Amino acid sequence: MSSLPNLAANTSNNNVHQSPSPGRSEKDQLWRCLPLYRALLRGDQCDLELAARPLGPLYKAWDCKITRAGDTTLHVIVGAGKWFDDPTVGPSAYTSRNNDGHTPLCVAAMVGNMDAAKNLLQLNPGMGSLDDAVGPHPIIEAARYGHKEMVLLLIGDMERKLGGSPPTKQSSASHFLHLLVLAGFYDVLLALLRRHPGLARTEFYGDNNESLLSLLAEIPSAFRSGTRLRFWHWQQLLYSVMHAKLEIRLADIEKSLVVAQSSATSPSRQSPEPASGLTWEYCTRLANCCILVCPKWLVTPIYSCMNHVGIMMKSMIRATREIWKTTTRAIRHIKDTKLMHEETLDIVKRLCEELTKHYSSTGEDIEPVLRKALLSAAGSGISEIIEEIIERYPDAIWFVDSENHNLFHLAVINRYEKVFSLIYQLSVYKHLVTAGEDTSGNNILHMAGKLAPLSRLNLISGAALQMQRELQWFQEVEKFVQPTLRTKRNSNGKTPKMVFTEEHKELVKEGEKWMKETANSCIFVASLTTTVVFAAAITVPGGNNQNSGFPLFSNETAFTTFAVSAAFCLFSSVASVLMFLSILTSRYAEGDFLRRLPKRLILGLGTLFISMTSLMIAFSATIYLVFGQKKGWILIPVGIAALIPVILFESLQFPLLLDMFMSTYGPSIFRKQSSRILH
């Protein structure tokens, strides 16, 4: 931290005018201040002195605007991410505003200049609580530009001085809370709601009169139901076993607020970095000291050995460090994601509790607030918000939008299975909520017959699996529809089945094309494997005994391994060819995509994987029989090389095989989410 050059003593000897003449235009003044403006941006002390010398008292007039945007010298310094101490700065400079109404503290909040913000709050204690009716509020600008530390600093400053919740005005509070949500600062928002429960009752904000609850309902990634984790993926497993310590996260936020309050009073100094631990350089110095006491004839071999070991150790340490960083980064991401889900769920619970308590005490109509939030959550696939709203206000289950769609209609239209699965938590109403029709005369089965949105279809790999998922949706919805509605016609005179056939005509063609292309590719590999292994089985490695006709290596364990793996390879590859051949000759009707075609593809890919693995084992056994006698080490490179095609096949085709198996034989995507009865 440095100080601006004090040129008061130098200006008396200057022949340049001490201040701009009254008739001097604004543009002329901006041109004169341009060198100073550029020097301030660079932050070079020498450049500042040279640029400021011709200006005289103008340089000390901190309120003078030196840019077209109306920024003063203090605005420019803070906006450049710097800070200079100068005792000549008057109180008016701290509260001066540019053409956009921003004070220097606002600019510091916008760019995240923590050093400047702490000093400004210390030099002018009232700056952090300026009335936002005059101009933008610093804490709102900090939230808008996503500077979390700055937000915590300003919250701590306001709570220390005002003893209340930031900001103080209702409109500013609503705007601030909305910006916290948009910035993803859910932990800060939750900490504020815990400290100041009244913030949950803030008014609507924006042209759409959007409440905080409806804003959260449009961010599916902030909730567990809106985050896509594959059932078999390691992320799902880690997420399920990891314990999210929400109270520790909130305690850290509370601690940050306390630190922010104290740092606003006394700006923090840069703490020295802790001394590094044991490093390779330290070990090298220690070894050099030990070498000094060694005999001379040992020095050269020791140095040579240290050089090779050092290169190897550094490579291993570097690789281990990268693996550790990648692993810890992935684990930290899962942990932060789960903590975020816990935070948003707690926020929703507090919002619903405070809103229902407030509207019940005032007697006002709560339905406009809850309707938009519930229908937005249904359209975004956030089941947590829907559960909490219905828990607090059971009649919300009957809310409909302008097209007469209720929450289950929207779940079916947008293909959100977790939202539709809430129907399992209804008592006797599950057949009533599905009986309604929209403005076009479509019942919920008509909606299931329409093609899913492209954004939802693209989450499933392959047109055949997409068609299978569409059939599963139609059959699931059909279970909850009254028998009379299954054949009822809409305004266009179409039954649900007719709508399904018409909407999915192109998807059936794409599914047929995808299945045939996959089968053709795999049948070529399976046929090639059959040919190779058949030839290998006839010409056994090592040849046969001329007298008995038995293979020469028949008593070797490796030969038995070769024979068994070759047999497995031949039988599985032939079975794979037959499975893919049956796919090519299928009739490709709509219903075939539900189980018949996926089952054949699963068997074909599974047997092909077995044949590929068996082929590699047979080949490795042959290599060992021919070249590896009394050379056991040869198994290591051969085994590693044999694993490469198996791993490649597994990484490229196994995810598709597993997805298809889980979709066909795995647990249904429609199931009861919890034991809580909603209605």
pLDDT bin (cut points 50, 70, 90) of residue 380 is very high
Domains of the chain: total: 3
In this prediction, residue 296 carries a pLDDT of: 59
Least confident of 218-232, 440-454, 605-619: 218-232
Q: 226 lies in a domain?
A: no
| 647 plus 547 within the same structural domain | yes
Whole-angstrom distance, CA of residue 491 vs CA of residue 502? 16
The pLDDT tens digits of the residues spanning 89-103 come to: 777 778 888 888 888
Q: Give yes or no for residue 194 having a pLDDT over 60.
A: yes
Write out the residue range of the structural domain in which residue 84 sits.
2-168
pLDDT at 266 over 60: no
Domain endpoint, select from 168, 187, 215: 168
The average confidence (pLDDT) of the chain is 80
| Predicted local distance difference test score (pLDDT) of residue 96 | 85
Residue 197 clears pLDDT 90, i.e. is over it: no
Single-letter code of the amino acid located at 86: D
Task: Evaluate whether 357 touches 198 at the Cβ level (below 8 Å).
Answer: no
Burial class for 607, CB neighbours closer than 10 Å (0-12, 13-18, 19+):
buried
Which residue bears the tokens 């952090």?
Answer: 128
Residue 494 is predicted with a pLDDT of 94
Structural domain contains residue 19: yes
H/E segment holding residue 261: helix 246-265
pLDDT at 16: 35
Q: Does 611 lie in the same domain as 479?
A: no
Given a cut of 70, whether residue 227 has pLDDT beyond it is yes
Residue 448: predicted pLDDT: 96
Q: Is 58 within 8 Å of 20 (Cβ atoms)?
A: yes
pLDDT at 607: 94
Nearest 10 degrees: Cα torsion 410, 411, 416, 420: 170
The answer as to whether 188 is a domain residue is no
Percent of the chain with pLDDT over 90: 36
Q: What confidence tier does 444 reach under pLDDT thresholds 50, 70, 90? A: very high
pLDDT of residue 274: 44
Do 18 and 149 share a structural domain? yes
pLDDT above 70: percentage of residues in the chain: 74
Do the Cβ atoms of 345 and 384 come closer than 8 Å? yes
Long-range contacts of 631-635 (CB under 8 A, 24+ apart): none
- The answer to whether 572 and 608 have CB atoms below 8 angstroms apart is yes
Asked whether residue 579 carries a pLDDT value surpassing 80, the answer given is yes
Question: Residue 260: its pLDDT value, please?
Answer: 55
247 pLDDT above the threshold of 60: yes
Q: Band of the pLDDT at 144, cuts 50, 70, 90?
A: very high
CATH number of the domain enclosing 406: 1.25.40.20
CA angle 584–590–594, rounded 5-degree value: 85
Q: What is the pLDDT of residue 60?
A: 56
Q: Lowest-confidence range among 34-48, 99-113, 283-297, 662-676?
A: 283-297
Asked if residue 125 and residue 30 are part of one domain, the reply reads yes
Please name which of 462, 477, 577, 487 lies closest in space to residue 526, comparing C-alpha atoms.
577
Residue 21 has pLDDT above 70, yes or no: no
Q: What is the mean pLDDT of residues 334-360?
A: 90
Q: pLDDT per residue over 155-170, tens digit each?
A: 888 777 655 555 545 5
412 and 544 fall within a common domain = no
What pLDDT, on the 0 to 100 scale, is given for residue 639? 76
Residue 333 located in a structural domain: no
Highest mean pLDDT range out of 135-149, 223-237, 538-552, 588-602?
588-602
Residues 487 and 526 in one domain: no
Q: Which residue has the higher pLDDT, 337 or 412?
A: 412
**Reported pTM:** 0.79
Q: Are 520 and 499 contained in the same domain?
A: no
The CA distances from residue 100 to 40, 75, 168, in Å, are 20, 12, 22
pLDDT attached to residue 122: 84
Q: For position 257, what pLDDT does the model report? A: 66
Report residue 68's pLDDT band, with 50, 70 and 90 as the boundaries. Answer: confident
Q: Are residues 19 and 160 in the same domain?
A: yes
Q: How far apart are the first and last CA of the chain?
A: 63
Are 494 and 598 contained in the same domain? no
pLDDT per position as a tens digit, 495-546: 999 999 999 999 999 999 999 999 999 999 999 989 888 887 777 666 665 6
Q: Which of 503, 526, 549 is the last residue of a domain?
A: 503
Assess whether pLDDT exceeds 70 at residue 547: no
Query: Is 347 domain-assigned?
Result: no
The model's pLDDT over 608-652, given as tens digits with 9 standing for 90+, comes to 999 988 988 888 888 777 776 666 677 778 778 888 888 887 778
Q: How many Å apart are CA 405 and CA 441, to the nearest integer?
A: 11
Whether 46 has a pLDDT exceeding 70, the answer reads: no
Q: Which of 19-33, 359-373, 477-491 has the lowest mean pLDDT?
A: 19-33
Q: Nearest-CA neighbor of 5 among 76, 97, 86?
A: 86
Q: What is the pLDDT at residue 269?
A: 46
Shared domain for 586 and 454, answered yes or no, is: no
pLDDT of residue 65: 79
455 and 533 within one domain: no
Within a domain: 63: yes
Place of tokens 């609850």: 213
Position 384 in a domain: no
Mean pLDDT calculated for residue range 98-126: 87
Does the pLDDT of residue 50 top 60, yes or no? no
Whether 530 and 655 map to the same domain: the answer is yes
Does the residue 528 lie in any domain?
A: yes
Q: Which of 126, 145, 168 is the last residue of a domain?
A: 168
Cα–chain-centroid distance for residue 76?
A: 35
